[in-house]
Amino acid sequence: MPLTRNFRETIKEQLADSDFRREFLREAVANMVSGDLDTAKSVLREYINGTLGFIALGKALSKSPKSLMRMLSPEGNPHARNLFEMVAHLQRVEGAVLEVIVASAAWGKVCQVKDASAIGQNRSN
């Protein structure tokens, strides 16, 4: 019988790569924007567990870690303010800026990740 790895262990290992972290965070926001809140919460939960953790996030946002965990649970129903506050903090920690760009449905991606250093530079691209 083949040995299998725990999904969370695999994701946590992959989140050590900054490009993977940014894409994972982008995926969470893309799911939010497209209306798939259940997937967005699941991806955010994995992202937080694999990076800074709920205790550090709770301290940064002045919220109970358990409350944050409940918000992102399958039964959770977080307020938009809480979700965006969470994403804003995660962007700062990651050093990334997520932009929602308008594109045809055939294009695919809803969100694009840009480095925080790109803020204030020419955005004509």
Rounded Cα distance between 75 and 14, Å, is 27
* Cα(57)–Cα(86) distance, integer angstroms: 8
Q: What is the tens place of the pLDDT at every residue in 87-122?
A: 999 999 998 888 887 766 666 665 666 666 555 544
Answer whether 0.85 is exceeded by the pTM.
no
What backbone phi and psi angles, to 5 degrees, belong to 73?
-75, 165
Q: What is the pLDDT of residue 125?
A: 45
Tokens of 38: 């259940």
Distance of CA 74 to the CA centre of its chain: 16
Q: Quote the strand ranges of 1-125, DSSP E.
A: 96-100, 111-115
Distance CA 113, CA 23 (A): 8
Q: How confident is the model at residue 123, as a pLDDT?
A: 46
Please give the backbone phi and psi of residue 31, each rounded to the nearest 5 degrees, phi first. -65, -40
User: What does DSSP say about strands 96-100 and 111-115: parallel, antiparallel, or unpaired?
Assistant: antiparallel
What local confidence, expressed as pLDDT, does residue 101 receive? 76
Judge contact between 76 and 82, C-beta under 8 A: no
Confidence (pLDDT) at 122 = 45
pLDDT reported for residue 9: 76
Q: What is the pLDDT of residues 1-57, one digit of tens each?
A: 555 667 677 777 778 788 888 888 988 998 898 889 999 999 999 999 989 999 999
